[in-house]
């Protein structure tokens, strides 16, 4: 049996006792611990005070970037509308899910508290509209583009004259700038659709060839009214469109239906205000091919990526342009908005706004 004195004298046992001795001899520095606790307490207290301050601090209401709320800017915008003789579209809320067509008015005066608008040809309007809200829409021309605005105002007074109806509207406290027209979609009026062409797959020009129409292949599909209608446009916005491919050509287009595929559509549109044709080349990205159960064709949702217009030098040259910061083709958006306004003006006549309208029914 080994001697216990020899066991305790081994190097391993000596190291054990050395560690234990150092551990037992360590003393807790109470002063240093107190300093740490005080520092942590101060930091926690400051953090709590900051959180309480942020909680009870008056919060500024969120104001979207496209709102005009400054009184001086609102007046300046309305004065510009008066100078440009901008037409105001007034929408009367009916309490149902549908809106009545717009009442087209001209801005006559911008007072300190009221706007005076006149609806030409409207000789009667129920007095029960006094004190009620009406939605107003107008646009301003800025060089070669348009800016669109909307606001809600209270009808303060209705004045009937032999030849017109004048309404006094309260000066709005905010005006919304409707710059993003990509959300407005219309079905292109047939009388303004002169033609369209589509390039897809290997027919899409690449690189510098895209800048010269003379280097392009023939269109993959054509839409010429009454002649070749190999596809159609169901609706269009300034940021995209919805195409329809008929059932009889689907077998030839199966390799085309892939999300993110890129293709080019050329649009020939009629601009009645200038009595001229306008043409757009639109680089599109496919988003959602959907089967139309009624026609057995395919609807294709698309997003515009870029667009082109004829170069000023003429010939077959094109100039490709990036999308605006709002994600839209601005000239196409202007054309769509003007067609939208025409639709409401035509609707006025259909339902009998004007002298034929019985205002007591609204």
Least confident of 49-58, 112-121, 204-213, 316-325: 49-58
- Label residue 153 exposed, middle or buried (CB < 10 Å: 0-12, 13-18, 19+): buried
pLDDT for position 216: 94
Distance of CA 201 to the CA centre of its chain: 30
Average pLDDT of span 281-297 = 87
pLDDT for position 197: 94
Least confident of 69-73, 127-131, 178-182, 302-306: 178-182
Could you give the count of Cα atoms lying within 13 Å of 4 in the half-sphere of its Cβ? 0
Q: How far apart are CA 27 and CA 354, in angstroms?
A: 98
Q: How far apart are CA 30 and CA 35, in angstroms?
A: 9
Average pLDDT of span 335-355 = 56
Average pLDDT of span 209-229 = 91
291 - beta bridge partners? 298
Q: What's the token pair of residue 329?
A: 């083709």
Pick from 120, 111, 124: nearest CA to 156: 111
Split at pLDDT 50, 70, 90, the class of 82 is very high
Sorted by where each starts, the structural domains of the chain and their CATH numbers stand as 4-56 (no CATH), 67-179+354-361 (2.30.110.10), 190-328 (2.30.110)
| Angle at alpha carbon of residue 20, lines to 16 and 25, rounded to 5° | 150
57 pLDDT more than 80 = no
Q: How far apart are CA 198 and CA 171, in angstroms?
A: 48
pLDDT digits (tens, 9 = 90+) for 313-344: 778 899 999 887 767 888 888 888 778 766 65
151 - beta bridge partners? 136
Cβ neighbours of 76 (radius 10 Å): 13
Q: How far apart are CA 138 and CA 341, in angstroms?
A: 10
Question: Rounded to 5 degrees, what are φ and ψ at 13?
Answer: -65, -35
Q: How far apart are CA 233 and CA 171, in angstroms?
A: 41
Q: How far apart are CA 46 and CA 96, in angstroms?
A: 54
351 pLDDT more than 50 = no
23 pLDDT more than 80 = no
pLDDT for position 355: 34
pLDDT for position 248: 86
Least confident of 21-35, 169-183, 192-206: 21-35
Q: How far apart are CA 68 and CA 151, in angstroms?
A: 10
Q: In terms of pLDDT, which residue wins out, 255 or 300?
A: 300
The contacts of residue 189 (CB under 8 Å, 6+ apart) are 339
Least confident of 37-51, 119-133, 196-210, 232-246: 119-133
Split at pLDDT 50, 70, 90, the class of 7 is very low
Tell how many helices (H) and how many strands (E) occur in the chain. 5, 17
Pick from 184, 343, 193: nearest CA to 271: 193
The contacts of residue 111 (CB under 8 Å, 6+ apart) are 171
332 touches 182 (CB < 8 A):
no
Q: Is the dihedral of CA 274, 276, 280, 286 positive or negative?
A: positive
| Average pLDDT over all residues of the chain | 78
Average pLDDT of span 90-106 = 60
């Amino acid at each position: 049996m080994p001697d216990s004195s020899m066991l305790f004298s081994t190097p391993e046992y000596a190291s054990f006792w050395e560690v234990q001795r150092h551990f037992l001899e360590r003393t807790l520095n109470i002063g240093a611990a107190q300093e740490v606790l005080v520092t942590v307490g101060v930091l926690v207290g400051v953090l709590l005070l900051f959180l309480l301050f942020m909680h009870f601090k008056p919060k500024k209401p969120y104001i979207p970037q496209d709102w005009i709320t400054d009184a001086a800017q609102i007046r300046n915008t309305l004065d510009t509308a008066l100078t440009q003789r901008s037409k105001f579209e007034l929408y009367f809320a009916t309490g149902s899910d549908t809106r009545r067509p717009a009442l087209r008015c001209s801005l006559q005066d911008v007072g300190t508290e009221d706007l005076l608008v006149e609806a030409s040809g409207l000789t009667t309007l129920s007095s029960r509209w006094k004190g009620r809200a009406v939605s107003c829409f107008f646009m301003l021309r800025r060089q070669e583009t348009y800016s669109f605005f909307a606001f809600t105002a209270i009808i303060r007074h209705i004045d009937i004259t032999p030849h017109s109806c004048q309404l006094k509207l309260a000066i709005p406290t905010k005006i919304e700038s409707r710059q993003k027209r990509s959300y407005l979609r219309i079905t292109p009026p047939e009388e303004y659709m002169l033609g369209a062409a589509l390039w897809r797959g290997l027919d899409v020009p690449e690189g510098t060839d895209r800048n010269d129409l003379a280097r392009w292949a023939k269109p993959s599909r054509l839409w010429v009214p009454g002649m070749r209608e190999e596809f159609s446009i169901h609706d269009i916005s300034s940021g995209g469109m919805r195409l329809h491919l008929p059932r009889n050509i689907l077998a030839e287009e199966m390799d085309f239906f892939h999300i993110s595929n890129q293709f080019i559509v050329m649009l020939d549109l009629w601009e009645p205000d200038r009595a001229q044709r306008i043409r757009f080349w639109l680089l599109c990205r496919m988003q959602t091919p959907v089967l139309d159960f009624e026609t057995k064709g395919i609807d294709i949702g698309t997003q515009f990526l870029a667009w082109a217009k004829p170069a000023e030098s003429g010939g077959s040259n094109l100039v490709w342009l990036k999308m605006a910061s709002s994600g839209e083709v601005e000239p196409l958006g202007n054309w769509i908005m003007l067609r939208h306004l025409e639709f409401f003006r035509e609707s006025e006549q259909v339902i009998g706004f004007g002298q034929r309208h019985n205002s007591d029914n609204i």
